[in-house]
Structure 1
């Protein structure tokens, strides 16, 4: 049996990058998968690529109704919500001097409000299940150290850590575990357009001297989703190749 056999996993922002890698890894370990993405057609295509028991649903994570629709789709299709991954994200990078209020609000809304709405909705189901559940919040190394041009993103990702720890304390009694992952420089569509000089500077900070792969983040998510981490909650795992340790 796979590590997630008989379980249902919801992954937001799951149509590409790290989210898709997580969805793929979970499906390979036997999980039914619900992919939520702002691009509904991309979510459906991603589910078709995974095959098996996977469905795609359009979802704006900053909207409570959309989050609740993901819950409904999972329960109607597969009967439960056992794993929830708050992965959806955007960037609106700019120095604080030039960043607009709209750019700040957009990033906070998708990352922090989205993670809170997802955690709130998932725990409302999981705490009433005998099996509890696992929630995985995607933070970032930017939330640990702060990066220039990312006052919005760094603030949101740091906030996700506080959310993770506080929520884990609230629902641990019901067997619901909540943990966070802080990826570093990972090969995704958002990073592949990076200027060569910036990429070289960031690689110089990484002891393992390479960019990480989405599948490497997915394996950590699999650990947190499965019973391998049954006594782990409120933790933050860095997947950074040693950068900023």
Structure 2
């Protein structure tokens, strides 16, 4: 059971990409429970509206394609108009591709990089400009992956993209902290979300395994002996967004059940 400190984010406004499902949705729910106003942003605007309605008052949904600058600008503008400002950006949108180095194509690699790398860069740029103009600081939290720390084949483009997120976090943090904007990252281990069901199916098919077998083996290899939950990732995001993390800058936190020790 996760203890929720319901006032930690009171008065704050958070824009969460990838907010309609998985870790992003859990972040939206946790932030709202801690007092924040939340904008749920994802590709499916209808789904975003449904998630926002389920969360409750002071929550909005907006369609967002992080590969489109027009869409990014529209989502940021909507958030400011609806909630008055943006104090917190969470870059949780991302895609996974199973492609080994022997199979990889330029087209599929470009798509992974557009979403997982360029999406983080240009969402950060758009929101940081607003934060700098307001002059009241802010928090930006990026979701990387353990794959970006140690490789996780056959998914070379995905691993490269998530390693890039760590570097982007460090570079942006060094530049933006002068404006009172803290930038940090979270590297989840294996988390039981719909994306892992897709991974299980794709990798299982490649290796001739029954559905669920990849997930079972992966969970058994985690020192904690299980998959993590999206809610556990959201708890770290809430900490990094809150006042207790004011002196934390340019860090990437492993929330992974002991997979990586650093």
State the distance in 2 between where 1:142 and 1:97 align.
Answer: 18
The residue aligned with 2:247 is 231
- Given the alignment of the two structures, is residue 14 of structure 1 paired with residue 30 of structure 2, yes or no? no
**What's the CA shift for 1:200?**
2.9
Gaps of 5+ in 1: none
State the distance in 2 between where 1:192 and 1:214 align.
Answer: 14
Gaps of 5+ in 2: 1-5, 201-210
**What is the total number of aligned residue pairs between the two structures?**
245
- Given the alignment of the two structures, is residue 117 of structure 1 paired with residue 131 of structure 2, yes or no? no
Work out which of the residue numbers 70, 74, 81 in structure 2 matches 1:76: 81
Alpha-carbon deviations, 1:176-208, whole Å to 9, x = none? 000000001101001135243322332232111
Residues 52 and 59, structure 2, Cα contact 8 Å, conserved in 1: yes
Alpha-carbon deviations, 1:39-70, whole Å to 9, x = none? 11111111111111111111101111111112
- Given the alignment of the two structures, is residue 40 of structure 1 paired with residue 45 of structure 2, yes or no? yes
- Given the alignment of the two structures, is residue 214 of structure 1 paired with residue 230 of structure 2, yes or no? yes
Q: For 2:163, what is the secondary structure of its paired residue?
A: helix
Q: Choose 204-213 or 76-85, whichever is displaced more.
A: 204-213
Residues 34 and 70, structure 1, Cα contact 8 Å, conserved in 2: no
Alpha-carbon deviations, 1:180-239, whole Å to 9, x = none? 000011010011352433223322321110110100000000001111101001000011
Q: For 1:190, what is the secondary structure of its paired residue?
A: helix
The residue aligned with 2:213 is 197
Output the aligned Cα RMSD: 1.2
Q: For 2:185, what is the secondary structure of its paired residue?
A: strand
Residues 28 and 40, structure 2, Cα contact 8 Å, conserved in 1: yes
State the distance in 1 between where 2:136 and 2:119 align.
Answer: 25
Q: For 1:160, what is the secondary structure of its paired residue?
A: helix
Work out which of the residue numbers 156, 162, 177 in structure 2 matches 1:172: 177
State the distance in 1 between where 2:75 and 2:86 align.
Answer: 10
Work out which of the residue numbers 55, 59, 63 in structure 2 matches 1:58: 63
